[in-house]
Amino acid sequence: MPDFDLSGRVAIVTGASRGLGTAIAEGLAEQGARVVLSSRKQDDLDRAAIGINQRFPDRALPVAAHAGREEDLRRLVETTMARHGRIDILVNNAGTNPYFGPLIEADSGVWDKTFDVNLKGYWLLSQLAVKAWMEEHGGAILNIASTGGLRPSVGLGVYDLTKAGVVMLTRQLARELGGKVRVNCIAPGLFKTRFAEALWANEEIYNRVVANNPMGRIGRPEEIAGAACFLVSDAASYVNGAVLVIDGGGTEAG
């Protein structure tokens, strides 16, 4: 039978103070993992950790770190190793989208900020986690991309380019590390999170997305947790380099 048990394993989840990150972290904790929650703001992380620890005592550790700053990511890995002595699972989920508009009108500052967090940060934290533990002991990396990384969308060109890069980063690392470290990717559609509120709160955008979705709705954060737990568990022991679209069928229908 598939083995979803994560007891004894340690996970880092970035962008874990709310939305998809919190849902994934809670799912990992429910399966037995100790989870290091990371995002920029310590107060938000503390609240998320309290919520998880109320259900699963002593499973969540909040560590503030900016996903676009190398020194912060190094400190995150060092803190995790000092506290838990291992990193079996890495979920790269942190994201930013400071610009909505035509790609040709974006300035270089927007480009740099978005790529630093959404793509460079994923690569760098993966590198740090692999060298700190996974290279010798094995592990699983899960990158959170977007359906925007699979096809273009209006107004989200810079963001979509970073997510297309995450898809390729996943496949490249899976090719290079697959003998020891499995690397997979989830590409969510529109979910009801604060990060995506500018989209789902816009009636025109919301109605267009729902009209093209066979399930007639957008996603809920908790609906991503099961897939994440599967991909980082031994139940997915031969899944490597996969890009799992979770969008209710909207990408295919659209």
Q: Show Cβ contacts of residue 190 under 8 Å, excluding neighbours closer than 6 positions.
A: 196, 199, 200, 206, 209, 218, 219, 247, 250
Q: Considering the candidates 122, 159, 206, 238, report the single residue annotated as catalytic.
A: 159
Tell me if 97 sits within 8 A of 148, measured CB to CB. Answer: no
Residue 99: active-site member: no
Q: What are phi and psi of 45, to 5 degrees?
A: -65, -40
Structure tokens at 222: 């908790």
Residue 185: strand pairing partners? 143, 243
**Active site (catalytic) residues:** 159
